[in-house]
A and B are shown apart, each in its own frame.
Chain A
Amino acid sequence: MNWTWFHKLGSPKWFYDISGRWLPWLSVAAALLLAVGTVWGLAFAPPDYQQGNSFRIIYIHVPAAILAQSCYIMLAVAGVVGLVWKMKLADVALQCAAPIGAWMTFVALLTGAVWGKPTWGAWWVWDARLTAMLILLFLYFGVIALGQSISNRDSAAKACAVLAIVGVVNIPIIKYSVDWWNTLHQPATFKVTEKPAMPAEMWVPLLIMVIGFYCFFAVVLLLRMRLEVLKRESRASWVKAEVERSL
Chain B
Amino acid sequence: MSFESFADFLAMGKHGLYVWTAYGISLAVLALNVALPILARRRYLQDEARRLRRESKQ
**Chain B residues, CB < 8 A from A64:** 26
Tell me which of B18, B30, B48 contacts A115 (CB under 8 A).
Answer: B18
Q: Given A44-B1, A220-B33, A226-B41, are A110 and B12 neighbors across the interface (CB < 8 Å)?
A: no
Contact between A117 and B18, CB atoms less than 8 A apart? yes
What residues on B are CB-neighbors of A153 within 8 Å? none
Q: Which of A43-57 contact B (CB under 8 A)?
A: 43-47, 52-54, 56-57
Which of A46, A103, A107, A243 has a CB less than 8 Å from the CB of B45?
A243
User: How big is the A interface, by class?
Assistant: 35 or more
**Chain B interface (Cβ < 8 Å from any Cβ of A):** 1-3, 9, 12-16, 18-19, 21-23, 25-26, 29-30, 32-34, 37-38, 40-41, 44-45, 48-49, 52
**What 5 pairs across the A-B complex have the smallest Cβ distances?**
A54-B15, A223-B37, A53-B12, A53-B13, A52-B13
Query: A residues bordering B, Cβ < 8 Å?
Result: 34, 38, 42-47, 52-54, 56-57, 60-61, 64, 100, 103, 106-107, 110-111, 114-115, 117-118, 216, 219-220, 223-224, 226-227, 230-231, 234, 240, 243-244, 246-247
Within the complex, what minimum Cβ distance (angstroms) separates B16 from chain A? 8
The residues of B that contact A219 with a CB separation of less than 8 Å are 34
Which of B9, B13, B18, B22 contacts A43 (CB under 8 A)? Answer: B9
Other-chain residue from B18, B32, B52 in contact with A57 (beta carbon distance below 8 A): B18
Q: A44-B2, A118-B15 are in contact. Are A60 and B26 (CB under 8 A)?
A: yes
Q: How far apart sit A110 and B9, CA to CA, in the bound complex (Å)?
A: 22
Given contacts A114-B21, A115-B22, contact A103 B29 (CB under 8 A): yes
The answer to whether A43 touches B29, judged by C-beta atoms less than 8 angstroms apart, is no
Q: Chain A's nearest CB lies how many Å from the CB of B25?
A: 6
Inter-chain contact A223/B2, CB cutoff 8 Å: no
